[in-house]
Structure 1
Amino acid sequence: MGTAYKRIVIVGGGTAGWMTATAVKAALPASAVELVESDDIGIVGVGEATLPSIRDFHAQVGINEVEFLRATNATFKLGAEFRDWSGLGRRYFHTFGNYADVAGPACLWGQYRRVGDPALGELGDQCVPTVMSMQGRFARPPKEQADMFSYAYHFDASLYAGFLRTTALKRGVRRTEGRIVEVTRRADGGVDQLKLADGRTVSGDLFVDCSGFASLLLGRTLEEPWVDFSHWLPVDRAWAVPSAPSGAAITPYTRSTALEAGWAWRIPLTDRVGNGHVFSTRYIDEDRARKQLLEQLDGPALAEPRLLRFTTGHRERFWVHNVVALGLASGFLEPLESTSIMLIQRGLLKMVDLLKPGVPPAAPAVAAYNRGMTNVFARIRDFVVLHYCLTARRDSQLWRDMTAMDLPDTLAFRLHVWRQTGVLRQYGEEGFEPASWLAIHAGNGNWPEHLDPVFNEVPLDEARQALRQRRDQIAAMVAAMPLHEDYLRGILGK
């Protein structure tokens, strides 16, 4: 079985590094946890939007929500608004809510389509957080209705890393500042020591590579091959820039606006707005993409735009010998659905579960870890590609190519099943529930070719009344909620 991992060394700070340090120390308090980072190496720090799973992480490591909100200039997030994706001048929402039943005679979307009453409004009117988003309102879900909707956050990623760093250090994590200049290997191929620029060495039993795009251990030292997703996701650059608040209300959602050769994000914080333009250099040059980003800003830029270069995909394996890679060191998917931190969290929690027994996991368990993370990336890849392949836009070469490309087999099969049967097919290791897939299908007007005859078991007038009642109840519930800014002000005392 091997000896226990008594010394766990994390390479790199930032969100991935300090999330790892905090979680490992919470789960394995007897282990020595050391994080090595250099003040000379900046962090990417643009992943400011999250998914509801981050609240599970905070609960597991004992982070107080209000303290976190105050420390990171955070706001609440109910989901995302997609502008110009389904067509120029159109928008739809993907929020963290449900649409009641998605199968069987009472299937909400099925009865909505069957009734076909324009007076009912959009399908989104049947989803609590979508209505909240459209009205700019927010309140935490009541305990008795916790399954009706959820929420996440927008925050300053650099401040978040600092907040976690303070938390981890208080709990006994050791921080070593220094630049790594050499990595020595063990006889079995694993990592033995890190040599720092000042001559110090850091030894460990398990090394967690959180070194960002550099992938110092898994990529550069162990030379783990890269699985390239750029055939399906050709974006390879992002400009990022903060801007001053415009004075308009702070929206409780992220905005994604489709542009000529990619898309622009807008993420509202309490003190500024995070902006970026994710694009493909196959279709636009960097200078033009930068100009398009600056044209999207609501307020003056607070810094010079920063350019990030990347290739979508992941390392072939995520755990090799005694090295585990998390975050950008393991792979990258464009942040269209705010999955970067969720990917860190999924890999981290799987890793911690394998470390809890106190001995290194056996080879089959590591292989299962690698298969699981490969599937996690593939499922999210398919969900992101779904946004592109369903668009009705044909006004630039990117959109024409994205709607004509060969899809991953798993996504092609899901689309076939949906169009033929109305079933939202799910696999293992999913990143998003059926309601999320439904939101993207509905937002793009992609409906099954035939309605299931089982829907006819509900009388038409009864279905119409049920939809009206749900819509009206949601409208009344949301109307009683405070505006997002007022809610924030109330809990933060500002």
Structure 2
Amino acid sequence: MSQKVDRIVVVGGGSAGWMTAAVLASGLKGRATVELVEAEEVGIIGVGEATLPSIRNYNQSLGIDEAEFLRATHGSFKLGIRFRDWLEVGQDYFHTFGPLGNLSGSQALWGQYRRTQQDGPLGLQCVPTVMAMKGRFTLPDEQSQFRYAYHFDAVLYVAFLRKLAMQRGARHTPGHIVDVVRRADGGVAALQLADGRRIEGDLFIDCSGFRSLLLGGALAEPFVDFSHWLPVDAAWACPCERSGEEIPPYTTATALEGGWAWRIPLQNRTGHGHVFASRFVDVDRAREQLLARLDGKPLAEPRLLRFTTGHRQRFWVHNVVAIGLSSGFLEPLESTSIYLIQDGIGRLMAALLAGRPLNEGDRAQFNAGSTRRFERTRDFIIQHYCLSRRRDSELWRHVSSMPLPETLAFKLELWRRFGVLHEYDEECADANSWLAIYAGMDSWPEREDPVVAEIPRERALQALQGRGRAIEASVERMPLHHQLLQQVLGQATP
């Protein structure tokens, strides 16, 4: 059934709600009204403080000034993630957002790196990795092609977007939702608030968090559970005072007994958390492990979050579209939560701007694409676990022996046997990112492409050493991250 959309109601605030409202109010001005109903029972999770480079595209699409955004959210720059103790205890590596040279043929940088038996990690051949290792940062230019993301306070980001969305015409309606009024065809007609108000709409965007008030609640859409592959189901989160002047330009993810711990550096504080599988480690023990890792005075009591990894079977049903946690959740190992919000908003806007009433084809395309995106992202996260050599606890023994999704098993086999960096559609991570994890986890092909040997070994060695020296010299001339951040914020002169 085709549907004309004049009134859009966003249910729930938080990152998903206000990111959606800001885009809809900006992109549909004059075409449809946008009203956000902030249900009082839905809070802000506030653990999504690390992002992927796509967040810059989102901010730029709204005309957000970078310095203004960083000031408003206490943000810092992020070059990638430092993974500690994932391969083995005592081993670490970086996954940064930069190219690792040519990826195939005789010029494949990783192939020549392995063939020449280079000392040091493959990341020494990657500009942002060396920047991260040395704690330095500069904005990319035409000569230095790399991407970056941000760390920021999610609560402050919500406040920033709320102001922007309302300036662009979005209406904010605080209220407690007590009933969801259905249409004859099964869709949603209106929201009934506790004070008697009735909020009607043509299209409802469910951003109500884990509760999934509309899609999972009123419409009872089934949940596709990923916990047999991603067993973590809880997290302790706790901010602490920032120690020292320097601010690392990267997130740290440290593998622990029953999960992993994050460290996210902001301008004014450091975010800490412990994501864990409650069937493999006791909740109280996980809390103790988090508190033992704090590198500053706690600013609040640790907060416990519980979740199940997976997604709703369909993301768009009748006239309800779920975006954010209401549609599904994949653990925050690669900072994909806000990325998946952006992805949902982008797909929705593409349908709304098609210039015709919404129809079943729009819903089917949205659902199929969103399902693939979740599955591809799931596979990328599982890669970090299943390649580990750790067998020192029940969690690591489990992930080393569990059956893998067919899409991931096929991809890993192509790499293991032939060194092929296979890419599907709807990937969340490109071939460089997959290679960074393979290299960091010391996972290499059983055989090399014969064409790699067409370049004389000595010539390849000289090229790699020269590239490494040039990168190191270039990075040494860059400012430390906190110095560059101060310049961007206008707190210091270059």
User: What's the TM-score, normalizing by structure 1?
Assistant: 0.98
Deviation at 1:4, TM superposition (A): 2.2
Distance in 2 (CA, whole Å) between partners of 1:448 and 1:151 is: 29
- 1:156-175 matched pairs, under 5 angstroms: 156-175=153-172
- CA distance 1:248–1:404, change in 2 (3 Å): farther
- CA distance 1:40–1:282, change in 2 (3 Å): closer
Distance in 2 (CA, whole Å) between partners of 1:336 and 1:262 is: 10
Which segments of 5 or more consecutive residues in structure 1 lack a partner in the other structure?
none
Distance in 1 (CA, whole Å) between partners of 2:410 and 2:88 is: 25
> Residue 418 of structure 2 corresponds to which residue in structure 1?
421
Q: Does 1:478 align with 2:479?
A: no
Deviation at 1:410, TM superposition (A): 0.6
- Preserved contact between residue 256 and residue 336 of structure 1 (Cα < 8 Å): yes
> Residue 52 of structure 2 corresponds to which residue in structure 1?
51
> Residue 122 of structure 1 corresponds to which residue in structure 2?
121
Q: Does 1:264 align with 2:261?
A: yes
Distance in 2 (CA, whole Å) between partners of 1:365 and 1:12 is: 24
Letter in 2 for 1:303: A
Spell out, residue by residue over 1:387-428, the C-alpha distance to the aligned partner (whole angstroms, 9 max, x if none): 000011111011011111101101100010001110111100
- CA distance 1:362–1:39, change in 2 (3 Å): closer
Q: Does 1:38 align with 2:35?
A: no
- Preserved contact between residue 5 and residue 359 of structure 1 (Cα < 8 Å): no
> Residue 137 of structure 1 corresponds to which residue in structure 2?
136
Distance in 2 (CA, whole Å) between partners of 1:242 and 1:259 is: 19
> Which secondary structure state, in structure 1, belongs to the residue aligned with residue 160 of structure 2?
helix
Letter in 1 for 2:66: E
Spell out, residue by residue over 1:180-221, the C-alpha distance to the aligned partner (whole angstroms, 9 max, x if none): 110000011000000011000100000000000010000000
Distance in 2 (CA, whole Å) between partners of 1:379 and 1:180 is: 35
> Residue 64 of structure 1 corresponds to which residue in structure 2?
65
- 1:92-241 matched pairs, under 5 angstroms: 92-118=93-119, 121-142=120-141, 144-145=142-143, 148-241=145-238
- Preserved contact between residue 11 and residue 209 of structure 1 (Cα < 8 Å): yes
Q: Does 1:371 align with 2:368?
A: yes
- CA distance 1:281–1:3, change in 2 (3 Å): closer
- Preserved contact between residue 8 and residue 203 of structure 2 (Cα < 8 Å): yes
Distance in 2 (CA, whole Å) between partners of 1:466 and 1:225 is: 54
> Residue 20 of structure 1 corresponds to which residue in structure 2?
20
> Residue 359 of structure 2 corresponds to which residue in structure 1?
362
Deviation at 1:493, TM superposition (A): 2.1
> Which secondary structure state, in structure 2, belongs to the residue aligned with residue 295 of structure 1?
helix
Q: Does 1:393 align with 2:390?
A: yes
Distance in 1 (CA, whole Å) between partners of 2:356 and 2:197 is: 28
Letter in 2 for 1:79: G
Deviation at 1:38, TM superposition (A): 3.5
- Preserved contact between residue 252 and residue 263 of structure 2 (Cα < 8 Å): yes
Distance in 1 (CA, whole Å) between partners of 2:177 and 2:356 is: 28
Distance in 1 (CA, whole Å) between partners of 2:483 and 2:238 is: 27
Deviation at 1:438, TM superposition (A): 0.5
- Preserved contact between residue 115 and residue 464 of structure 1 (Cα < 8 Å): yes
Distance in 2 (CA, whole Å) between partners of 1:472 and 1:372 is: 43
- Preserved contact between residue 126 and residue 471 of structure 1 (Cα < 8 Å): yes
Distance in 2 (CA, whole Å) between partners of 1:365 and 1:343 is: 18
Letter in 1 for 2:124: D
- Preserved contact between residue 5 and residue 358 of structure 1 (Cα < 8 Å): no
Spell out, residue by residue over 1:305-340, the C-alpha distance to the aligned partner (whole angstroms, 9 max, x if none): 011010000000000000000000000000000000
Distance in 1 (CA, whole Å) between partners of 2:153 and 2:349 is: 26
Computed over aligned residues only, the root mean square deviation of the Cα atoms, in angstroms, reads 1.0
- Preserved contact between residue 4 and residue 358 of structure 2 (Cα < 8 Å): no
Letter in 1 for 2:457: L
Deviation at 1:39, TM superposition (A): 4.7
Distance in 2 (CA, whole Å) between partners of 1:208 and 1:122 is: 45
> Which secondary structure state, in structure 2, belongs to the residue aligned with residue 357 of structure 1?
coil
User: What's the TM-score, normalizing by structure 2?
Assistant: 0.98
> Which secondary structure state, in structure 2, belongs to the residue aligned with residue 145 of structure 1?
coil
Spell out, residue by residue over 1:438-474, the C-alpha distance to the aligned partner (whole angstroms, 9 max, x if none): 0110001000001110101111111111111111111
Distance in 2 (CA, whole Å) between partners of 1:184 and 1:115 is: 67
- Preserved contact between residue 14 and residue 43 of structure 1 (Cα < 8 Å): yes
Letter in 1 for 2:108: C
> Residue 79 of structure 1 corresponds to which residue in structure 2?
80
Q: Aligned residues: percent identity? A: 60
Distance in 2 (CA, whole Å) between partners of 1:473 and 1:141 is: 16
- Preserved contact between residue 45 and residue 157 of structure 1 (Cα < 8 Å): yes
Distance in 2 (CA, whole Å) between partners of 1:13 and 1:362 is: 27
> Residue 336 of structure 1 corresponds to which residue in structure 2?
333
Letter in 1 for 2:262: W
Equivalent pairs counted in the alignment come to 490
- Preserved contact between residue 239 and residue 277 of structure 1 (Cα < 8 Å): yes
> Which secondary structure state, in structure 1, belongs to the residue aligned with residue 77 of structure 2?
strand
Letter in 2 for 1:368: Q
- Preserved contact between residue 3 and residue 358 of structure 2 (Cα < 8 Å): no
